[in-house]
Amino acid sequence: MLILRCQIVRWSEPNEILYNAAVLVRDGKIVDFGPSKDLEERYPQEEKLDANGQWLMPGNICAHTHFYGAYARGMSVYGTPPADFPQILRKLWWGLDKALSEEDVYYSALVCLMDAIRHGTTTLIDHHASPNAIDGSLDQIAKAVEESGVRASLCYEVTDRDGVARRDAGIRENVRFLQRLQKGDNLDGRLSGMFGLHASLTLSDETLRKAREAVPEHIGFHVHVAEHSVDEYDSLQKSGMRVVDRLSHFGILGPRSIAVHAVHVDAQEIFQLSRTQTWVTHQPRSNMNNGVGTAQVESMMRAGIRVCLGNDGHSNTMWQEWKFAYFLHKHANLDPRRMGADQVVQMGVYNNRALVETLFSGKKVGAIEVGAEADLILVDYHPYTPVTEANLPWHIIFGMQESMITMTMVAGKVLMRDRKLITLDEQGISEAVLARVPATWERYRKLMEQKG
């Protein structure tokens, strides 16, 4: 396909914008780009898509999400409102995940992937939990990924909170799925895996040891870290070490592992995350919603940590995450100079794509260059002020909206065109999920009643 007459945002380093340009896609990759007139003359027989002046750029990436949380939208939390994050876990998430059936796992992934396609998010790194439907749960999500056409990294959240049998089942599910990928069953490179762990506060020393021993050293871990101060105090009580030090002690950190949130880490833990080259993901919407505080993202980046942007299960509108990151740190520090748009772009574009390249065997994503994966979006944005390489981040934060995205492509396959989903039956899936959710909510309510 030859995508013609577009303004190309390359997200090169340094960034470059090409006006009235074109991109040629073949076999899922970008094979040429340049002035629209030149490419049209060079490839006269190619199928053409006329962008009519829209902005063409790489699809967005979500570095941490929870597909299983889809059914929480609009759900009433049992009992009195949670007063803090530990209560949010007990009153909401640790009841909802138990209420999920195998079919719920599949459909919750589908609706999140529909949301991702519609809003231009082409790669997602998921962290799954369904204690009453563990075995094969990652295959259910992989099935949804296959049908949708997106790119995703999956893992199962191992925890001690549901007993030894379920902990061991979670370990087995991670190992089984990673073995599936190792055999080449990875949707032509659109699927990858990690080893999932919940958080230090629900993991014993024995579990951390078992998790590390279960997989080779080159396998990375995906774990929540110090989202709330309770995680730090629990770790100190268990081991005499803070969370990052404890995880490092068991070999959980490293250049293929993700530490999610890291809101309450101290200076030594920041040093340790940097020393081990562990990735950190920042989820500002979630942190604000849960009232857990504001991560020291700027300090982490100055210390050499590669901080990425995720959404923690909120809508897959990653530009919204950009905007919240931009505003949150100014507000929290009472200083409008904090968290410049260039730092947001560093997280949301350059660090996110480097993480994906690490998890997907070096596949080049998130850039428009020859040989890169053709994960692309078209944006129908009509600026009334000039757009340059220097001010583009501010145009995204203050001007562009996900509703302006008209086309989403992954690996050269168009998943949405003219705002119409192609690979998924949006109406049918939405109706199927709407019919399922009341029964899931009722199971959640009964589980919470049993707990008192």
* Ordered DSSP codes for 307-360: EEE--TTS-S-HHHHHHHHHHHHHHHHT-TTSS-HHHHHIIIIIIHHHHHHHHT
**pLDDT-based confidence at 285, cuts 50/70/90?**
very high
Q: Are residues 390 and 326 in the same domain?
A: no
Sequence-distant (≥ 6) Cβ neighbours of residue 133 within 8 angstroms? 100, 101, 102, 104, 105
Q: Mean per-residue pLDDT for 88-105?
A: 95
**pLDDT at 3 (0 to 100):** 98
Asked, for residue 448, whether it belongs to a domain, the answer is no
Residue 126 has which token pair? Answer: 């998921």
Considering the domain architecture, whether residues 52 and 193 belong to the same structural domain is answered as no
**Residue that finishes a domain, picked among 309, 329, 359:** 359
What tokens does 213 get?
A: 């021993």
Domain boundary, last residue among 359, 384, 407: 359
Percent of the chain with pLDDT over 90: 98
Burial grade of 147 (CB within 10 A; 0-12, 13-18, 19 or more): middle
110 contacts: CB under 8 Å, gap ≥ 6: 144, 147, 148, 424, 429, 433
Which tokens hold the place of 417? 């065109």
Residue-wise pLDDT for 342-379, tens only, equals 999 999 999 999 999 999 999 999 999 999 999 999 99
Look at residue 326 and tell me if it is in a domain: yes
Using CA atoms, how far apart are residues 373 and 410, in angstroms rounded to an integer?
A: 8
Domain ranges, residue 390: 2-59+367-421
Predicted pLDDT of residue 360: 97
Give the model confidence (pLDDT) of 306-356 as tens digits: 999 999 999 999 999 999 999 999 999 999 999 999 999 999 999 999 999
In a domain? residue 450: no
Distance CA 227, CA 263 (A): 5
Q: What is the mean pLDDT of residues 73-78?
A: 90
Q: Are residues 47 and 193 in the same domain?
A: no
Pair 248, 287: CB distance under 8 Å: no
Same domain for 137 and 237, yes or no, is: yes
Cα 23 to Cα 97, 175, 289, 370, 419, distances in angstroms: 43, 40, 40, 10, 20
For the residues 280-291, what does the mean pLDDT come to?
Answer: 98
For residue 78, pLDDT over 90 is answered with no
Residues 190 and 305 in one domain: yes
CATH number for 221: 3.20.20.140
Same-domain check for residues 121 and 253: yes
Element (H, E) at 49: strand 48-50
pLDDT at 228: 98
Asked if 107 and 71 count as a contact pair (C-beta separation under 8 A), the reply is: no
Domain count, the chain: 2
- 190-232: per-residue pLDDT in tens? 999 999 999 999 999 999 999 999 999 999 999 999 999 999 9
Regarding pTM above 0.95, the answer is yes
Q: In the chain, what is the greatest distance between 2 CA atoms, to the nearest angstrom?
A: 71
pLDDT tens digit string along 164-196?
A: 999 999 999 999 999 999 999 999 999 999 999
Q: Is 203 among the domain residues? A: yes
Q: Are residues 145 and 46 in the same domain?
A: no
Which residue type is seen at 311?
N
Same structural domain, 184 and 55: no
Residues 72 and 50 in one domain: no
Q: Which of 359, 378, 408 is the last residue of a domain?
A: 359
Peptide bond into 14 cis (omega under 30): yes
In a domain, 296, yes or no: yes
- Amino acid 193 reads G
- Do 159 and 189 fall within a single domain? yes
Asked whether the beta carbons of 293 and 331 are under 8 A apart, the reply is: no
What does pLDDT average to over the chain? 97
In angstroms, the CA 21 to CA 435 distance is 46
Same domain, 265 and 155: yes
What are the two backbone dihedrals, phi and then psi, of residue 366, each rounded to the nearest 5 degrees?
Answer: 75, 15
Query: At 426, is the secondary structure helix, strand, or coil?
Result: helix
Would 50 be classed as within a structural domain? yes
The H helix count followed by the E strand count for the chain is 17, 19
109-127 pLDDT tens trace: 999 999 999 999 999 999 9
Does residue 49 lie within any of the structural domains? yes
Percent of the chain with pLDDT over 70: 100
Give the separation between CA 190 and CA 363, rounded to whole angstroms. Answer: 10
Residue 452 has pLDDT above 80, yes or no: no
Same domain, 128 and 93: yes
CATH number for 28: 2.30.40.10
- Report pLDDT for 315: 96
Q: How confident is the model at residue 451 (pLDDT cuts 50, 70, 90)?
A: confident
Cα torsion at 173, 175, 180, 181 (round to 10°)? 120
* 440 within domain boundaries: no
Buried b (16+ CB within 10 A) or exposed e, 157-173: bbbbbbeeebbebbbeb
What is the C-alpha separation between 259 and 227, in angstroms, rounded? 10
